[in-house]
Structure 1
Amino acid sequence: MSIEPTPEREQAEAPAFESLDAVVGFTPGPWPEAVEDRRQNVLFDHGAWFGLALPDPAHAGSFAGPYDLRVPGWVGFGGLRFELEGLRPDPASLSLREGPGVLEQSLDYADADGQARARVELRAFFASADELLVAASVRNLGEQPLALRQAWSGRGEGLALEGGAVTWTRAARSTPLRLSVAADAEVKLDAAAGYRAQGPERALDPGAEQRYVVALRSTSGAAPTPLEADAVEARWARNRQRWDTYLRGAWLGRADTPKSERDLAARAVMTLIANWRAPSERVAGSGLFPSWAYDGFHGYWAWDSWKHAVALARFAPELARAQIRVLLDRQREDGMIPDVIYPGPEQDNWRDTKPPLAAWAVAAVVEATGDADFARECLPALLRYHAWWYAQRDHDGDGLCEYGSTDGTRIAAAWESGMDNAVRFDDAAMLAHPEQPGAWSMDRESVDLNAYLVADKRALAQVLRALGQGEHADALTAEAEVLADRVRTEHWDDARGWFRDRRLDGSWAPGWGPEGWTPLWAGLATPEQAQRLRATMLDPEAFATAVPLGTLAASDPNFDPERGYWRGPVWLDQAYFGVAGLRRAGFHDDAEALTQTLLSAPEGLATGGAIRENYHPLTGAGQHARHFSWSAAAVLMLLWDRWEAHSA
């Protein structure tokens, strides 16, 4: 399945391809040292399940790969190498770039005396989810004709020859990867599982240029017909137009923002698109993995997906719709949406769901596109999901909900919050719902959950109004105000100056984390409460650390940012909610200062490093998974709020 940019995000003027060429992308990673090495920036696009990466100087003229997500790992561990018979690459001349939707390298090829004889430019890009093209351009730098014989070589696992194409096939992949070269090329395998595809000799005059192309495809059946070099140009133009559309949307059409911020926005878009997976035998619909680089994140998580969709709505709205549909399509009759959809339905996690942000995501798509049909399509599922929380997660029926699980385990209930090992759940007990078999709640009403439900009611009202259902929208708005008043009254700890979880017996639960500023994001704190929240959020002993707004106050005895996961590290989504809450409460200077720190202090974020799952609040070191989708989505939202505030 190929998802192209849709008309509502296209621009009337001609594509500004030069803007793509100027983007400073990711810093290339090292050459893979093992099949499971994840330190590289692999190029994935169009939802592809395979990709390539740039080399280091020692492997100049090569692309690392293929990397196959169905394995997962490097199946072409020796790389895809371009050769010119009689010449060798000069690593000192190597120039590398990973830009939007493309890997590029240029270098000189020298003779035995070290004299540069040819300049080679290599470009890898996707034409579809199943076709990655590598184009080579060779220019004669000398004053004499060159006799050139091009070849592509490498090593890998599961290599075979089928119809003149090199194939990689692993047990985990039912569809092989095929490397197709020119029809007149001679392809050989050696005993050590290497391959070499060599073309005929051609003469190249001084100053003249020769082009070559190979295609790496995921196909079954007969090998595809090899491409001629001229046929690549139309595919390349479509690639550029699509990526130009993405970046125009992500840059909000702005040319007056600092280039460093537009580059950061581009890297966030590149991260999101790299995590996009097309439907396959592994998953039923299009969506984004949290991270391709961590095997445990190869699925579609509900909480992650809502955040992805909010970001995608502005630059890839059709993909945003797909990301939402893939979860709503799996909804149960009772309204529950699973925590995560894995490659096999039997692996889906129905032990819990995730915080109710689905209507927020749909409202973002409707606001960005004006798509009333999509609103109408999603509304019944959103209403069922909203009602499910009150049917299954309100143990005492008082209108304030608790996180819970379907199997009665505390760990699944903590997963439902999204904050798996947060301190506030350490002493939680599980209670069976008195009237709903298979519904269990923790013995505490969580402030963030009920603040999210306020936001959910308001987002549902927004969707209803887009469909002309004002009376129903007004009723939900009134419900939201009643619930907001209860949260600001019953979840406010005046002694601490913080919103907190409350046990069903009325006592305060432990912990001191982002749940306290979620009501600020939801717009339900009083001015006095907002002022006290601000003071704690800006306190260096609490949340104003080197990278601010971590998941536990630095003064808490359980603060452990290296091993704690949700006990100190900075997760950019939660930091975004905090900054957005401060902006909403009128603390614009504070929000601006925090935004600046969040976009500059994390390791590598502003300088071309991979966008990480979370960051150490004291050192800024990137932690856990690389290429993390919701962090990229949060980066975009931080930038957008900043740009829009500057325009106000």
Structure 2
Amino acid sequence: MDKKSFYIFMLISMLLFGCGQHNSKKSKSTSPSKYLVETRGILDFKGVPKDKDDRDMLMFSDQGAWFAYSLPENNTNYGGFSGPFLMTQDNGVWSSPTMVRFAIQDSIGLPIIWDKLGTNSYNSHLEQNYENKTWKVEQQLVFMSSHTCLQRIIISNISDKEITLNSSFQGNLFDIGLKFSKEDGYLKLTTPKSKAVGYVQFLEKGNDLFVRDSSSYVANNQTLLLKPKESTSYLISETFIFPEYSWDKEKQLISKIDFDSVLKIRKTEKEKELSNLIESTKSQFSDKKYARVLAKAQLTLQNNRRNAAGGLMHEGLFPSYHYEWFQGFWSWDSWKHAVGLSYYNIDLAKNQIRAMFDYQSEDGFVLDCIYRDNLIEDNNYRDTKPPLSAWAVAKIYKKDGDIDFVKELYPKLKKYHEWWYKKRDHDKDGLCEYGSTDGTLIAAKWESGMDNAIRFDNSKILKNSEGAYSLNQESVDLNAYLYAEKGYLATLAKALGKTDESSTYRMDAELLKKRIQEQFYDLEDGWFYDSDLKGTTYIKGEGSEGWTALWAGAATQRQAETVKNLMMDPKKFYTKVPFQTMSADHPMFNPLKGYWRGPNWLDQAYFGVKGLRNYGFDQEADMATKQILEGAEGILNSGSPIYENYHPLTGKGLNAKNFSWSAAHIIMLLTKDE
């Protein structure tokens, strides 16, 4: 949420809840609605961190917050939510096993034994409940904003006797440089490692707070007397806020808030997002199991959302909070995220694109990746990524018709498109190459997005001009993307009334289309390959770049037919998880050790499926979509995360969990009019 949105939200909230008082009785809660109820347990958030670096469990966050929580397992750490996991410092660390834990004892100070303990998660919030014959405790956690989450605890005497108990809140910190202090009756958390400041407020039962030392505290240590069937509640706010935002205004908002109203807002918001997604599903994928997959994809993207802070001037998505080196925004990922987001959160989709163009150079270059804090990680100016930004903007424009957004982005897209021909066309023949700004071969391979693909094994680097280098090969996928970009730029130019520019892009696209068909297609093999600069020698090894021309619509029908036949060959690409990055019968195929030498990346699988649809092979596209989702480990199962990529023969999920572009492309696979 940016500053303007925050203040609007604050004003609306005050109007809605301004007269609301914190009620000691249980308020009537809004039940999950038609689609939201189906998200129960869609991801498994259970776990308690053993130390600050424990990344075994998944974590729940919302609203772009830079902190997240998990659910306690069994009797371990009941009474609180695991964490929070802080993405405000380092590359993400756990602050505590449970920073705010509700502890209760009987009247003589003995721990209470619980007969039943249970946890639930929805896309909107987390819950845990525990009870015995006498007591019932219900806890919920919901994000009020991108800076603050709220926890409510309701304790009920379910017996027929008046009962006394002792209660308190307790918490302690891992050794991460974070320190507790007491300020104006609430906990303050600071660290020299981050500009973000944390605040914990106990809102309903006074400010009885004692900071034992800089890493532990106890609060609201009191004796409660509850009559039969009587309940009482506690409300706690946890805030982690960067200096770009106002703690005073956030604190004012918290003071006026009503938990049930916030929870209702979150439920309504998620129901709307899920409705937009699920009701856009292609008719052939109307089965309930695919609706749950879309809900899982939405929650995956939600957990990776971060609001603007530090060097990130607009909100956007991490590739994965789960992997410590993915705590930033990447250009290629951003374009893909934006298309997936456009189905249900158009504003976030637009901001994801803006976040990368905030760093566009005067010559049009868009850097590879950006981070919030460059003391942790430097932005990567050594390369860019494949040009898919015009695709993303055109898809967003198709969704909402926002011509102002097109006006804003079109000049930037145009400069970026022209940059490729100025800085990445070594022999000036109208076909571009991947390359780097620093003259290194590794950065040039990174620029392809397919870092260690076999087609680059024998590549060499060539200097074009100062700060501009190319590989000594012309890549079919790069030029197919550029062909598609010309079409999308033509569409956007026409929408802006720039008819001459639109016509020029159309004519240039037709010329490039013919070049792609003639230079990169091997008639003997029936496949598209990269070639040398002269266009006389193919760089062979069937890989997913071979169907990019179909995705872009740059192949002839006959060429598409032969590519389709190889794609649907079980010995090659029609594996348990179809359309992986290289043919399964290639001697260098190695999904476990080859990042781009065999795993199935769902973006590449999507390009393959969409390529089939572009040429009328809908039956094959439907078959492949179903096999991808059924073959990939856990995608159709509750609890299991969406992975970075998958083993195409076994279906095993590989590398990072909770991966954004995998989730975005699942949305594209299942929905209409992407």
In structure 2, the partner of 1:84 is 104
In structure 2, the partner of 1:193 is 215
Alignment check: 8 A CA contact 1:97 1:105 kept: yes
Alignment check: 8 A CA contact 1:154 1:196 kept: yes
What CA distance in whole angstroms lies between the structure 2 residues aligned with 1:90 and 1:471? Answer: 77
1:236 paired residue among 263, 269, 273:
263
In structure 1, the partner of 2:460 is 429
Inter-CA distance 600–82: structure 2 relative to 1 (3 Å threshold): farther
1:104-149 CA-to-partner distances (Å, cap 9, x unmatched) read: 11221x4xxxxx2122221111111111111112232211123344
Say if 2:340 is the partner of 1:311.
Answer: yes
Most deviating of 315-324 and 206-215:
206-215
In structure 2, the partner of 1:95 is 118
Inter-CA distance 92–30: structure 2 relative to 1 (3 Å threshold): farther
In structure 1, the partner of 2:38 is 22
Alignment check: 8 A CA contact 2:187 2:199 kept: yes
RMSD between superposed Cα atoms in Å: 2.5
Inter-CA distance 519–343: structure 2 relative to 1 (3 Å threshold): same
Tell me by how many angstroms 1:344 deviates. Answer: 4.1
In structure 2, the partner of 1:460 is 489
Equivalent residue pairs, number: 627
* 1:96 aligned partner, one-letter code: T
Say if 2:559 is the partner of 1:500.
Answer: no
What CA distance in whole angstroms lies between the structure 2 residues aligned with 1:254 and 1:170? Answer: 46
Partner SS state of residue 245, structure 1: helix
Partner SS state of residue 152, structure 1: strand
2:662 paired residue among 628, 631, 636:
631
Inter-CA distance 255–137: structure 2 relative to 1 (3 Å threshold): farther
What CA distance in whole angstroms lies between the structure 1 residues aligned with 2:528 and 2:456? Answer: 15
What CA distance in whole angstroms lies between the structure 2 residues aligned with 1:218 and 1:32? Answer: 19
In structure 2, the partner of 1:488 is 517
Tell me by how many angstroms 1:233 deviates. Answer: 2.1
Tell me by how many angstroms 1:509 deviates. Answer: 1.3
Inter-CA distance 226–375: structure 2 relative to 1 (3 Å threshold): closer
Tell me by how many angstroms 1:594 deviates. Answer: 0.9
What CA distance in whole angstroms lies between the structure 2 residues aligned with 1:637 and 1:510? Answer: 30
Partner SS state of residue 554, structure 1: coil
Tell me by how many angstroms 1:229 deviates. Answer: 10
Alignment check: 8 A CA contact 2:451 2:596 kept: yes
* 1:583 aligned partner, one-letter code: R
Tell me by how many angstroms 1:53 deviates. Answer: 1.0
What CA distance in whole angstroms lies between the structure 1 residues aligned with 2:262 and 2:431? Answer: 54
1:236-256 CA-to-partner distances (Å, cap 9, x unmatched) read: 222222222221222236798
What CA distance in whole angstroms lies between the structure 2 residues aligned with 1:15 and 1:534? Answer: 47
* 2:539 aligned partner, one-letter code: A
1:610 paired residue among 626, 641, 649:
641
Partner SS state of residue 502, structure 1: strand
What CA distance in whole angstroms lies between the structure 2 residues aligned with 1:344 and 1:323? Answer: 18
Say if 2:400 is the partner of 1:369.
Answer: yes
What CA distance in whole angstroms lies between the structure 2 residues aligned with 1:336 and 1:246? Answer: 34
Most deviating of 64-73 and 462-471:
462-471
Long gaps (5+) in structure 2: 9-29
Inter-CA distance 253–457: structure 2 relative to 1 (3 Å threshold): closer
1:439-482 CA-to-partner distances (Å, cap 9, x unmatched) read: 11101100000000111011111212222333322221221121
Inter-CA distance 254–409: structure 2 relative to 1 (3 Å threshold): closer
1:284-337 CA-to-partner distances (Å, cap 9, x unmatched) read: 221111111112111110000000001111211111111111111211111100
1:133 paired residue among 150, 155, 176:
150
In structure 2, the partner of 1:575 is 605
Tell me by how many angstroms 1:83 deviates. Answer: 2.3
What CA distance in whole angstroms lies between the structure 1 residues aligned with 2:111 and 2:417? Answer: 64
Alignment check: 8 A CA contact 2:576 2:628 kept: no
What CA distance in whole angstroms lies between the structure 2 residues aligned with 1:442 and 1:91? Answer: 65
* 2:274 aligned partner, one-letter code: L
- TM-score, normalisation: structure 2: 0.88
In structure 2, the partner of 1:153 is 170
Inter-CA distance 192–354: structure 2 relative to 1 (3 Å threshold): closer
Long gaps (5+) in structure 1: 7-13, 111-115
What CA distance in whole angstroms lies between the structure 1 residues aligned with 2:541 and 2:187? Answer: 57
Tell me by how many angstroms 1:200 deviates. Answer: 3.8
What CA distance in whole angstroms lies between the structure 2 residues aligned with 1:159 and 1:268? Answer: 36
In structure 2, the partner of 1:11 is none
Tell me by how many angstroms 1:27 deviates. Answer: 1.8
In structure 1, the partner of 2:23 is none
Alignment check: 8 A CA contact 1:355 1:449 kept: yes
What CA distance in whole angstroms lies between the structure 2 residues aligned with 1:254 and 1:202? Answer: 52
2:182 paired residue among 155, 162, 169:
162
Alignment check: 8 A CA contact 1:213 1:228 kept: no
Inter-CA distance 556–44: structure 2 relative to 1 (3 Å threshold): same
1:420 paired residue among 429, 432, 451:
451
Inter-CA distance 364–15: structure 2 relative to 1 (3 Å threshold): farther
2:80 paired residue among 39, 49, 62:
62
In structure 2, the partner of 1:252 is 279
* 1:106 aligned partner, one-letter code: N
Alignment check: 8 A CA contact 2:281 2:671 kept: no
Partner SS state of residue 44, structure 2: coil
* 2:348 aligned partner, one-letter code: L
Say if 2:233 is the partner of 1:211.
Answer: yes
* 1:412 aligned partner, one-letter code: A
Tell me by how many angstroms 1:82 deviates. Answer: 2.1
Tell me by how many angstroms 1:169 deviates. Answer: 2.9
* 2:397 aligned partner, one-letter code: V
* 1:359 aligned partner, one-letter code: A
Most deviating of 555-564 and 176-185:
176-185
Tell me by how many angstroms 1:259 deviates. Answer: 2.4
* 1:577 aligned partner, one-letter code: F
Say if 2:198 is the partner of 1:177.
Answer: yes
Say if 2:617 is the partner of 1:601.
Answer: no
Say if 2:71 is the partner of 1:48.
Answer: no
What CA distance in whole angstroms lies between the structure 2 residues aligned with 1:282 and 1:198? Answer: 39
Partner SS state of residue 167, structure 1: strand
What CA distance in whole angstroms lies between the structure 2 residues aligned with 1:16 and 1:104? Answer: 13
Alignment of 1:524-539 (within 5 A): 524-539=554-569
Alignment check: 8 A CA contact 1:29 1:41 kept: yes
Tell me by how many angstroms 1:211 deviates. Answer: 2.1
Partner SS state of residue 128, structure 1: coil
Alignment check: 8 A CA contact 2:282 2:670 kept: no
Partner SS state of residue 258, structure 2: helix
Inter-CA distance 439–196: structure 2 relative to 1 (3 Å threshold): same
Alignment check: 8 A CA contact 1:430 1:441 kept: yes
Alignment check: 8 A CA contact 2:188 2:199 kept: yes
Alignment check: 8 A CA contact 1:48 1:276 kept: yes
Alignment check: 8 A CA contact 2:473 2:532 kept: yes
- TM-score, normalisation: structure 1: 0.92
